[in-house]
Amino acid sequence: METPSDQPPSPGGFFRSWRRLYAAVLLTALSVYVLLFAFSRIFAP
Amino acid sequence: MQLLDWIVVAAYFGLIITVGYWTGRGNRGLEDYFLARRSMPWYAMGLSVMATQASAITLVGTTGQAYVDGMRFIQIYFALPIAMVILCVTLVPLFYRARVFTAYEYLERRCGPHTRSLTSLLFLFGRALSGAVVIYAPSVVLSVVFSLDETLTILIIGGFATVYTALGGMRAVMWVETWQMLIILLGILFCLGSVIWGLPDEVSLGEALRLAGSTGRLETLSFDTDPRQTYTVWTGLLGGLFLMLSYFGCDQSQVQRYLTGRSLRESRLSLIFNAFAKLPVQFVILLTGALLFVFYQFERPPVLFDPVTLAETRAAEPEAMAAMEARYETAFAERRTAALDYAEADGGSSEAALKERYVAADLAFQETRADAVRTAAEVKGEPWTDTNHVFPTFVFTQLPPGVVGLILIAVLAAAMSTVESELSALSTASVVDFYRRFRNRFVRGPTSDRHDLIAGRVGILFWGTVATGAALYMGRLGSAVEAVNRVGSFFYGPILGAFVLAAVFPNRGARRAFPAVICGVAAVWAADLVPRALGIEGVSYLYYNLIGTAVTVGVGLFLGRLGGDPREAGIR
């Protein structure tokens, strides 16, 4: 497991830390699940 | 296939030869040859990871599956973003800092040389013949569609991929795969556009989606808690998580992609790219198949999508097929009228009745088609479906010249990118995990970079010949190769278990990883075999990796508690 001193440079751009990027990935995944649920319910009631 | 299509195909081969030659020059040692001198940017690795996973069957079979069964398949990928984040935090930094060539090399440091040899051997065994399948499966479809000789198609895909992988090494393979994935993505978008374009003028996209939805083709989520079901949210999240962790974290064909990163940041970003992109790409492929279903509401599809089997079945059962095709014709006309009426319904009170009529007409149509498929299977004397022929039939009968060539090269690119990755991973594991460790027993004197390079190339040529050769005899070896592939999938979970022991419990369970992995494989085998022997339905295969990982970690920790000298496992 990595320690804080092992942290590689930040991912850059909007995401100033890896934690923010990982949080963005997981939030995007959650949004996709919700969108798919909505898609199913709208077109396949 | 018209001249313009052949020009597109020739341009594709010209592009990959040029990219392969240009980027593959100057290989001097194994780090160059197998890891592209650890110099790759994230976008090339990300696209390469995606290309490796996208086989021709992903493109052809997945659209066919959505046509036949709907979009439930997408749930398998639900855990992929979660798995990518877990790997970025855990295994990727460990591999990167250890400067390893293979994932299994890392295990030697924590679990001992025997565990490294065992896991690498399991990978080689599991993957050796899957190379044959990834060459054979698209070759069959392409040869039927093109009316080409199957042997020639196998030799083109297998031979071409083997030769330029052997000549160019990893850098060439990854840059070629980057281009191949871009072609695949372009092909997917063209397919979706073509299907939407092909809908009748009186049917809008919204109405097409309503038609697909009313027959369950757009059902993407199932909350069924039955563990025997594969396509459910829970199986996708739990079973799929362990499948994705095993595949992206412990399979050399994937690990080798992100080991080529020029920094840990680039390697992580390549996986994050996949975390963002995979679900939307898979959604578009499945949506194409679902809309293809709507397209064939208005354009009469053949009773069987495979023309060769259709001809064989007509010849073997002429009267039964003639009667069946007459029923099919009537069922299609009724369904077409019902679909148009339902699509044009304006939400009034009659809509529910029109929907009911359309769903009933579709059911009657599907039953007629199922009868034809059953008759074809009886004629062939084996289980058979034409799912993989749905998409090629649409491409070759409905699309204009040029676009046909583009879709064809997308399928070829998907097939070849998977073959290239498998060959380079098989060669890396055999050369680094076995040949380099044990060569002193066979080769006298010091070895050089040149010697290693030759060994790497021989490895690729060897595995390429094995895979292409097995693909050529697949017709005869079919069930044997499938059995080996099935057993090969049993190893993923236990190998992941070994990595969990190494990374999380280095002082407790890691030293007992060797017997733990064997117990893990036995547990997965039992999970597959026992229900079949008892004639009952077992848990979905997606849970096999979870079972394998859990048993391996559990046994490793238990044996670790019993104590013993770590040197027994060869740990220094």
**What average pLDDT does this structure show over B251-260?**
92
**What average pLDDT does this structure show over B341-362?**
83
Mutation site for A-interface testing, chosen from B77, B215, B266, B272 by largest number of A Cβ within 10 Å: B272
Using alpha carbons only, what angle is made at residue B296 by residues B292 and B298, rounded to the nearest 5 degrees? 130
Collapse the DSSP code of B261 into the 3-class scheme (helix H, G, I; strand E, B; otherwise coil) and give the result. Answer: strand
**What average pLDDT does this structure show over B550-555?**
95
Using alpha carbons only, what angle is made at residue B244 by residues B239 and B247, rounded to the nearest 5 degrees? 125
B186 interface with A at CB cutoff 8 Å: no
Q: How far apart are the first and last CA of chain A?
A: 46
Is the pLDDT reported for residue B496 higher than 90?
A: yes
Per-residue pLDDT at B500: 94
Among B126-135, B199-208, B365-374, the minimum mean pLDDT is found in B126-135
Per-residue pLDDT at B354: 87
* Of the partner residues A9, A18, A25, the one whose CB lies closest to the CB of residue B84: A25
A27 interface with B at CB cutoff 8 Å: no
* Of the partner residues A8, A28, A45, the one whose CB lies closest to the CB of residue B264: A8
Determine whether the interchain pair A8/B280 forms a contact, defined as Cβ–Cβ distance below 8 Å: no
For chain B, the residue count is: 572
Is the pLDDT reported for residue B146 higher than 90?
A: no
**What average pLDDT does this structure show over B308-328?**
90
- % of chain B with per-residue pLDDT over 90: 42
Determine whether the interchain pair A6/B219 forms a contact, defined as Cβ–Cβ distance below 8 Å: no
Take residue B541 and report the two structure tokens written for it: 């295969």
Question: In terms of pLDDT, which residue wins out, B229 or B554?
Answer: B554
Separation in Å, CA of A35 to nearest CA in chain B: 10
Using 50, 70 and 90 to split pLDDT, how confident is the model at A4?
A: very low
Per-residue pLDDT at B481: 57
Is the pLDDT reported for residue B169 higher than 70?
A: yes
B267 interface with A at CB cutoff 8 Å: no
Q: Which of A41, A12, A24, A3 is nearest to B276 (CA)?
A: A24
* Of the partner residues B85, B90, B218, the one whose CB lies closest to the CB of residue A39: B218
Q: Count CB pairs under 8 A between chains A and B.
A: 71
Alpha helices by DSSP H, B90-204: 91-98, 103-111, 113-128, 130-146, 150-154, 160-198
Using 50, 70 and 90 to split pLDDT, how confident is the model at B121?
A: very high
**What average pLDDT does this structure show over B289-310?**
90
* Of the partner residues A25, A36, A40, the one whose CB lies closest to the CB of residue B85: A25
Using 50, 70 and 90 to split pLDDT, how confident is the model at A10?
A: confident
Take residue B165 and report the two structure tokens written for it: 């992988």
User: Number of C-alpha atoms within 13 angstroms, CB side, residue B165?
Assistant: 30
Per-residue pLDDT at B479: 58
Per-residue pLDDT at B486: 67
Q: Residue A12: its chain B contacts at CB < 8 A?
A: 265
**What average pLDDT does this structure show over B58-71?**
85
Per-residue pLDDT at B450: 83
Separation in Å, CA of B264 to nearest CA in chain A: 7
Is the pLDDT reported for residue B572 higher than 60?
A: no
Determine whether the interchain pair B213/A26 forms a contact, defined as Cβ–Cβ distance below 8 Å: no
A12 interface with B at CB cutoff 8 Å: yes
- pTM value is 0.88
Separation in Å, CA of B64 to nearest CA in chain A: 19
Mutation site for A-interface testing, chosen from B73, B106, B110, B279 by largest number of A Cβ within 10 Å: B279
A34 interface with B at CB cutoff 8 Å: no
Q: Residue B351: its chain A contacts at CB < 8 A?
A: none
Is the pLDDT reported for residue A5 higher than 50?
A: no
Give yes or no for a contact between B220 and B74, defined as CB atoms under 8 angstroms apart: yes
Is the pLDDT reported for residue B331 higher than 90?
A: yes
Nearest residue of B to residue A17, measured between CA atoms: B265
**What average pLDDT does this structure show over B408-416?**
86
Burial of residue B65 (CB within 10 Å: 0-12, 13-18, 19+) is buried
* Of the partner residues B74, B81, B93, the one whose CB lies closest to the CB of residue A2: B93
Q: Residue A32: its chain B contacts at CB < 8 A?
A: 279-280
Is the pLDDT reported for residue B425 higher than 90?
A: yes
Using 50, 70 and 90 to split pLDDT, how confident is the model at B473?
A: confident
Among B26-35, B37-46, B186-195, B478-487, the minimum mean pLDDT is found in B478-487
Q: Residue B233: its chain A contacts at CB < 8 A?
A: 33
Using 50, 70 and 90 to split pLDDT, how confident is the model at B475?
A: low
Is the pLDDT reported for residue B468 higher than 80?
A: yes
Of the ranges B228-232, B383-387, B519-523, the best mean pLDDT one:
B519-523
| Alpha carbons B366 and B428: distance in angstroms, whole number | 48
ipTM computed for the complex: 0.85
* Of the partner residues A26, A42, A45, the one whose CB lies closest to the CB of residue B81: A26
Is the pLDDT reported for residue B142 higher than 80?
A: no
Give yes or no for a contact between B55 and B253, defined as CB atoms under 8 angstroms apart: no
Determine whether the interchain pair B503/A28 forms a contact, defined as Cβ–Cβ distance below 8 Å: no
Mutation site for B-interface testing, chosen from A14, A32, A34, A42 by largest number of B Cβ within 10 Å: A32
Is the pLDDT reported for residue B162 higher than 50?
A: yes
Per-residue pLDDT at B488: 67
Per-residue pLDDT at B246: 92
Per-residue pLDDT at B63: 87
Give yes or no for a contact between B46 and B267, defined as CB atoms under 8 angstroms apart: no
B283 interface with A at CB cutoff 8 Å: yes
Q: Residue A28: its chain B contacts at CB < 8 A?
A: 81, 276
A4 interface with B at CB cutoff 8 Å: no
Q: How far apart are the first and last CA of chain B?
A: 62
Using 50, 70 and 90 to split pLDDT, how confident is the model at A1?
A: very low
Using 50, 70 and 90 to split pLDDT, how confident is the model at A2?
A: very low
B279 interface with A at CB cutoff 8 Å: yes
**What average pLDDT does this structure show over B416-426?**
90
Take residue B262 and report the two structure tokens written for it: 């020029």
Nearest residue of B to residue A41, measured between CA atoms: B219
Q: Which of B137, B173, B250, B179 is nearest to B420 (CA)?
A: B173
Per-residue pLDDT at B89: 93
